[in-house]
């Protein structure tokens, strides 16, 4: 007999992983398939903020902003290792939005979401504040407000891991070749892209969380009529050597009405983004253009004393946002809210397709997805994720610094920077990486630049890491901190250990 699951989720980005986690935690049988690595497309190409979206207030998206502001604190409690508060500096550029409008926006931002953990906004004299030092002298007034940072692709991996620990099956490098409705079931064919093996199963419900490929999946894989309009918008970021010494990120206004962030990044760098450009090509081939690089450099050069050019860029990344097409005139004004489209009827297996969404609101989107599916499948259990920590996030009082201090004290042999990186990436799960170790040598082969085999083994066993790039650019950003020699050693080691570690067992 063909195996049957309650819910098949197609797409291993943040929405797919979040829905799989929520569904599995309600006791449903869940299978998630992702044709590449987890978070390998849009979900690892964000500006890496858990934020309400201050600029969305201008488009009167109050529901979206309120939901995002509430989620900001929910997620901060759930994952204090990979999410942490930031204080953003918004310099007042007299030629753009008036100060009273900014103050009004920040007042709403402070109060819409019932803020409890984060400090409110305030005005600041940039002539006296440390954040004013790198800025051009014409900028004398500014505002400071709170938002949060997130390691975006780690957020995806942790949701997938939690889904698995609640009983879901998570398959990477496996694509959904076809899905055909047969009365109240979906007949599905999956293909393992590593060896070509096919697997057939049936599903009571199908969740299409394919991101930029959502419409393509509906029309080509599920064989249904033309999908709702999907507006693909490219967002690109550049990374340069750090442009300032303090820890305050900036949000800059642009004459075109857009905003640009300049954020301290990976200790040694500044992250600058993002652009908003309509995109018509293959999402798998997305890359920054020369025009976008020039745009981002020019945008921050208006504000910083230190000028940058494309020659200063050390790394770039681009992603395609699968936005719901609300017929907005510009890419930057297209709604970031999500739309859940449920295709079902009497005796017809449901297909739920996800359009749009922000990384900040993935958990609420997942809850709403379960509400939608319940319309077709009947009661699916109660929501549970609002008070649940993500793997490694079970840190008392969300006190990252206190936990780090105890972790280091228990391991005096571990270099401070490595202890910090382990706890920042893995939270309490860092204890699993160092279990049984009493010296650096006990962490296995040293690849250089703070990389040891114990960490890579943990990731291969529990976080679906199969290639050096999975680790260097998604489970971490160590690609920015490692030499070519270290990367080559890591790649060679992973090639020689391919298939050694079964990742079927739960973490």
pLDDT of residue 115: 84
Give Cα 504 distance to the centre of its chain: 24
> From the CB of residue 214, how many other CB atoms can be counted at a distance below 10 Å?
25
Question: Which two three-digit tokens encode residue 136?
Answer: 């051009």
* Measured CA angle at 427 (ends 425, 428), to 5 deg: 145
pLDDT of residue 54: 87
Instruction: For residues 330 and 288, give the distance between their C-alpha atoms in angstroms, rounded to a whole number.
Output: 19
In order of 151, 238, 268, 293, 402, the CA distances from 309 in angstroms are 27, 11, 18, 8, 41
In order of 193, 194, 210, 286, 333, the CA distances from 197 in angstroms are 8, 8, 21, 29, 44
The C-alpha torsion from 101 through 103 and 106 to 108, rounded to 10°, is: -70
Closest CA to 343 of 472, 442, 194, 207: 207
Residues of the chain with pLDDT under 70: 1, 227-228, 328-329, 331-334, 499-507
User: Torsions phi, psi of 42, nearest 5?
Assistant: -60, -40
Instruction: For residues 101 and 238, give the distance between their C-alpha atoms in angstroms, rounded to a whole number.
Output: 29
Instruction: For residues 470 and 494, give the distance between their C-alpha atoms in angstroms, rounded to a whole number.
Output: 11
DSSP codes of every residue in 148-195: EEE-HHHHHHHHHHHHHHTT-EEEESEEEEEEEEETTEEEEEEEETTT
pLDDT of residue 507: 32
**Which residues are bridge partners to 171 per DSSP?**
33
Closest CA to 131 of 299, 264, 258, 255: 264
Whether residue 414 has a cis bond before it, omega within 30° of 0: no
Which alpha helices (H) appear in 267-356, and where do they start and end? 290-301
pLDDT of residue 329: 61
Closest CA to 178 of 229, 218, 226: 218
pLDDT of residue 500: 61
pLDDT of residue 502: 43
Instruction: For residues 80 and 263, give the distance between their C-alpha atoms in angstroms, rounded to a whole number.
Output: 19
pLDDT of residue 498: 77
Q: pTM of the full predicted structure?
A: 0.95
């Amino acid at each position: 007999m063909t195996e049957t699951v309650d819910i098949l989720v197609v797409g291993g980005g943040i929405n797919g992983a979040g829905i799989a986690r929520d569904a599995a935690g309600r006791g449903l049988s869940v299978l998630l398939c992702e044709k590449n690595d987890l978070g390998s497309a849009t979900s690892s190409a964000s500006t890496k903020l858990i934020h309400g979206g201050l600029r969305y207030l201008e488009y009167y998206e109050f529901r979206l902003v309120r939901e995002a502001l509430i989620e900001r604190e929910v997620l901060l409690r759930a994952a204090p290792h990979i999410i942490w508060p930031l204080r953003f500096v918004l310099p007042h550029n007299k030629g753009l939005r008036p100060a009273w409008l900014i103050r009004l926006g920040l007042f709403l931002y402070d109060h819409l979401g019932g803020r409890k953990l984060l400090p409110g906004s305030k005005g600041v004299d940039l002539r006296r504040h440390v954040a004013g030092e790198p800025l051009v002298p014409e900028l004398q007034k500014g505002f400071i407000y709170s938002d949060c940072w997130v390691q975006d692709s780690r957020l995806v991996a942790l949701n997938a891991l939690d889904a698995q620990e609640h009983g879901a099956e998570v398959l990477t490098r496996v694509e959904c070749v076809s899905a055909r409705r047969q009365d109240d079931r979906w007949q599905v064919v999956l293909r393992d892209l590593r060896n070509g093996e096919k697997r057939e199963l049936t599903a009571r419900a199908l969740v299409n969380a394919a991101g930029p490929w959502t419409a393509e999946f509906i029309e080509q894989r599920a064989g249904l009529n033309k999908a709702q309009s999907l507006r693909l918008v490219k967002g690109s970021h550049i990374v340069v050597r750090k442009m300032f010494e303090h820890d305050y990120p900036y949000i800059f206004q642009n004459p075109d009405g857009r905003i640009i962030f300049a954020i301290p990044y990976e200790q040694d760098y500044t992250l600058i983004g993002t652009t908003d450009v309509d995109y018509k090509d293959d999402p798998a081939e997305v890359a920054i253009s020369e025009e976008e690089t020039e745009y981002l450099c020019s945008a921050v050069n208006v504000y910083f004393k230190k000028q940058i050019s494309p020659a200063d860029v050390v790394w770039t990344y681009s992603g395609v946002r699968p936005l719901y097409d609300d017929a907005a005139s510009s890419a930057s004004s297209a709604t970031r809210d999500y739309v859940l489209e449920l295709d079902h009827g009497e005796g017809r297996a449901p297909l739920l397709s996800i359009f749009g969404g922000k990384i900040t609101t993935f958990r609420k989107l997942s809850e709403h997805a379960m509400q939608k599916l319940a319309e077709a499948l009947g009661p699916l259990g109660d929501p549970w994720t609002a008070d649940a920590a993500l793997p490694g996030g079970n840190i008392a009082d969300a006190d990252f610094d206190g936990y780090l201090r105890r972790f280091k004290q228990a391991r005096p042999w571990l270099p401070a920077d490595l202890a910090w990186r382990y706890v920042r990436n893995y939270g309490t799960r860092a204890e699993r990486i160092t279990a049984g170790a009493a010296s650096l040598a006990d962490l296995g082969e040293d690849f250089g630049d703070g990389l040891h085999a114990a960490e890579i083994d943990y990731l291969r066993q529990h976080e679906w890491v199969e290639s050096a790039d999975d680790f260097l650019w998604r489970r971490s950003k160590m690609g920015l901190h490692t030499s070519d020699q270290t990367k080559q050693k890591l790649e060679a080691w992973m090639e020689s250990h391919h298939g050694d570690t079964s990742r079927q067992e739960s973490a």
